[in-house]
Chain A
Amino acid sequence: MSTTLDPVQTQAAANGAAGNGVHPAPAYEPNMVLATRAYDVVGTRPVRHDGADKVTGRALYGADKQMAGLLQGFVLRSPHAHAKIVSIDTSKAEALDGVFAVVTADDLPPAKDKIVDVGEGDTRLAYVHGNVLAKGKTLYKGHAVAAVAATNVHVAEQAAKLIDVKYATLGSSMTAPEAMSSGAALLHDDLKTMEYGQPTDKASNVAQHFQWKIGDSDEGFAKADVVVERTFDTATVHQGYIEPHNATALWNNDGRVHIWTSTQGAFVVRDVTATILEIPVSQIKVTPMEIGGGFGGKIPVYLEPVAALLSKKTGRPVKLVMTRADVLEGTGPTPGSHVSVKIGAVNGGKITAMQGNLAYEAGAYPGSFVAPGGMCIFAAYACENVTVDCYDVVVNKPSSAAYRAPGATQAAFAAEQVIDEIAGKLGIDPIDFRLQNAAKEGSRRVDGPKFRRIGCVEVLEAMQRHPHYGAPLAGPNCGRGVAVGFWFNVGLESSCTLSVNSDGTVNLIEGSTDIGGTRTSIAMQAAEVLGIPAEDINPQVVDTDSVGYTSVTGGSRTTFATGWAAHDAAQKIVDEMKVRAAKLLEADAAGVTHEKGVYSAAGKSVSFREIAAQASRTGGPISASATVKPRGVGGSYAGNIVDVAVDPETGKVDILRFTAVQDVGKAVHPSYVEGQMQGGSAQGIGWALNEEYFMGADGGMQNNTLLDYRMPTALDLPMIDTCIVEVANPGHPYGVRGVGEANIVPPPAAIANAIQNAVGRRLQRLPMNPPAVWQAVANGN
């Protein structure tokens, strides 16, 4: 691959001529395209293959599953944050007209002591098990205790209310500092802190404490001219997908189980459900329905084993759909955090030492994503002396789940504010300061690995030269802030099968749930190899019986890895096409060349379409499969420039202008790449300003509706300008890094820096909601 600059592509081309009423139509900064060469399909903007189904209401999501004899269910949840289950009497519920079955944890096979892969990491089976249906104790308000199947959801709900559960309530902890304090009630009697990777005898709510260290930070701080140390807290927030969790299961009379569900990983659902129910994976087929958002939160298994148990008991298919309160109270929020950051630098701007101390709320079971938080917190900087301590702390909140770059946003909120403050103290432009210390190829991350080619510098340069950065501010109480963030992205495993149709189109079979247009970004990579239009590929996401193992849609991996599998399968098709072309051209296969769908030898040529039409005469169907487990994962940096206006009388913060910059490696479908950047930005803005679990004195979430859990509406956001940076990932055929996650990392920090710039107050707690900002402005803290 060469390193010549491509002609720049501008966002304006995609946006059309539509004006922007908030501020004058911006002269869009050209994207920074450093990727390698011009492609015919990759980098274009075809209409997505599943588009018509999704704009007409025909696309079938999990809750849309209907079948003869379908029962509907309802899950009874704990009203207490922490309680011993003394007894459960289901008799009244079972006696209600229309009720077919009730299940509790006693209906599950007892959890074996083993470790299971739950999609984006491993955990103890007992924890997954306990979260599906509480055994002995409930650990948070909303914890599933029992479930009912009935003729309809109203009857099921009424029956659930007739289940008599006797609880003995226990003390509860809602934040990491609370849970770590002496005297805090223990969530798990058998939980002993793992200290530096070694088991200890300490019974505690701290599941793990570990440390990463390079160099000597004490020495580094001693050299520094300026040292800033601050502590930050962030509230628990939810992924907030619009579609509630759902699962429909049929335990067939032959012992086979079929599950239809909206999930980020059908194979994870299959494997975890099989493990919980103690049946072979081959006995379960999972059909991934369309999914109404996930952001990491639809990786865990909640309802599927319960629906399967209810089906087994009733002999009928059973559908479970969560209410919105169930979603907020019973499924994965992302951890609240308590993070201290200390950074030192010398006059002139070189950072000499960085130190971070991160305590994250895992929720009810260990596994808070504090580790990725610790790996990412200083990943934008090359520094020789770094120490990071991480604490994974269980609290009486729902078991936390991945949320878009899990753990990194909380860390960046802390680190990027301290960086901003030091730049201010040194009198250096905040982007210059970051550039001066930016991580590059060869820089060492605190957890060990040396970076390969990364785009941190290019992202900062794109921010610096963006017209937004130099534009005048709108007026009094307005401010501008910047921040950057990092996410690793992952590879994992993917499979893909291509079959050529006689009309020259290609069926593409894959197993990656399509949450945001990945059918198309995967198909485009196959089309590029085959030299045919993206529209000639017919991509389908199929069930676990019908495609090779495919890991979750998560970690920004789908376009990267499943796209790579499609690329490899397409290469095999090209090889076979050459053989067929040789027959048609009466040439030697070794002499056939392929370019853009045309196969040539000895001065003659035949098209892809012609070969496809003749397949039957030249050897039969043409089909190929490929699987990948890529190693060449490329991390992604994102940066924001944000302008805010603060109303000092009310504390309200309005986002006036927002620019999202991200190194994506290669934008396969730029419209959906921009969409990911805009969506991550919007979630980051919500996280920054208003979203939080507001916990009441009873340990329950007070704001368990979409009225009071305040995600941004259309009226709360400006247009979100994007600048795609393409520093090709040398580890991928098209240079793809992945775009799904890094974009959520910088917004809260960038907004905090903008508020500081506007009113001279540094907010150290999320959300920076109106009462908090008003308080800070009024009291000077």
Chain B
Amino acid sequence: MHWVDYQRPESLDAALQAFAANAGNAKALAGGTDLLVQMRAGRCASGVLVDIKNIPELNEMSYSPEQGLTLGAAVPCYRIYGDKTVSAAYPALIDAVSIIGGTQIQGRASVGGNLCNAAPSADVVPVLIALGVVCKVTSAGGTREIAAEDFCVAPGKNALAAGELLVSLHFPPPALQSGARYIRFIPRNEMDIAVAGAGVSVTLADGRFSAARVALASVAPTPLFAREAGEALVGRPVHAASIAKAAAAAKAAAKPIDDMRGTAAYRRNLCAVLTRRALEDAVARAGGKL
């Protein structure tokens, strides 16, 4: 690996200064499970690594039923599934963070890193989209918010401008009678990249879907918000036929390619299967019955 310098700021301001001082040449280092691999493979030439794990705001994990969850960008997966309250409130988030890599990877990898890495296959991003998460981004110029579905813009490219840092993710409090789920398909049972994945959330009222969001992994250049699939459910009865419509809409929304992990046709098929299965589970989590 090429030479790098390493900095370890202990405040947000110091981190922003580090990025400003190394404009275009600095990368944020959280768990490093993607970044270090990319640097070794020569796919990232940054000369400075700014370790963001010692910045209080990026390590925050706080939840209240009224405010929802604020999750610092550097919080590693194991801390999330190790927290009983968070696990109970956001089981779909746990679905994703407990299958990113394996146990050891989860000791390092963060949700913020998974998002910033902007891989089409990122397991956590469909969940963030389905749950309506808002990303808080800051820079010397101020702070702005980006919706999860707008965060990834191209394979490996995110919406952060030069000098901007992802600070935290804000999960709205779970609505009454709501449920969410993430399912991915991989050839092995662990340690794999999603061939396709579906993150869904539903809210039920009076035997009908009152709200629903569906997002897909690995079937487009970025994690895909399949708005049509969620909309296909709203107002319809909680019934397998409604779910089948949403699954068909998800399949239609997918824009997959052929690669070593699967053909486009196979992935489209998976979109329908996974969306259906995820919705069935989400309904069950919402306390509904099909």
Contact = CB atoms under 8 A, between A and B. Distances in A.
Q: Do chains A and B touch in the complex (CB under 8 A)?
A: yes
- Size range of the chain B interface in the assembly: 20 to 34
Interface residues of A, number: 26
Given A702-B260, A771-B266, A775-B266, A650 B273 contact: yes
B187 A769 contact: yes
15 contacts: A650-B273, A651-B266, A652-B185, A690-B187, A702-B259, A708-B260, A708-B261, A716-B190, A770-B185, A770-B187, A770-B262, A771-B262, A771-B263, A775-B266, A778-B269
A308 to B, nearest CB: 27
Interface in A155-195: 157-158
B43 to A, nearest CB: 13
Interface of A: 154, 157-158, 649-652, 689-690, 694, 696, 702-703, 707-708, 710, 712-713, 715-716, 769-771, 774-775, 778
Closest 6 CB pairs of A and B: A694-B260, A715-B189, A771-B266, A649-B273, A715-B190, A702-B260
Contacts of A702: 259-260
Contacts of A650: 185, 270, 273
Interface stretch (B70-78, B82-90, B164-172, B191-199): B191-199
Contacts of A690: 187-188
Interface in B243-290: 259-263, 266, 269-270, 273
Contacts of A712: 188
A158 B188 contact: no
B1 to A, nearest CB: 6
Interface of B: 1-3, 102, 185, 187-193, 195, 259-263, 266, 269-270, 273
Nearest to A158: B2
Contacts of B262: 770-771
Contacts of B261: 708
Nearest to A714: B190
A696 B261 CA distance: 12
B142 to A, nearest CB: 39
Contact of A710 (B102, B188, B259, B266): B188
Contacts of A696: 260
A338 B3 CA distance: 47
Contacts of B188: 690, 710, 712-713, 715-716
Contacts of A708: 193, 260-261
Nearest to A769: B187
Q: Could you tell me the dominant secondary structure of chain B's interface residues?
A: loop
B187 A774 contact: no
Contacts of A771: 262-263, 266
Nearest to B41: A325
Nearest to B273: A649
Contact of A774 (B190, B193, B269): B269
A707 B187 contact: no
Contacts of A707: 191-193
Contacts of B266: 651, 770-771, 774-775
Contacts of A651: 266
Nearest to A772: B266
Contacts of B2: 154, 158
Contacts of B1: 154, 157
B271 to A, nearest CB: 11
A689 B260 contact: no
A148 to B, nearest CB: 15
B250 to A, nearest CB: 14
Contact of B187 (A158, A689, A715, A775): A689
Nearest to A695: B260
Given A157-B1, A713-B190, 9 more contacts: A649-B273, A650-B273, A652-B187, A702-B260, A769-B187, A770-B185, A770-B262, A774-B269, A775-B266
A712 B269 CA distance: 25
Nearest to A706: B191
Contacts of A769: 187
B185 A713 contact: no
B212 to A, nearest CB: 22
A176 to B, nearest CB: 21
A713 B263 CA distance: 24
Nearest to B263: A771
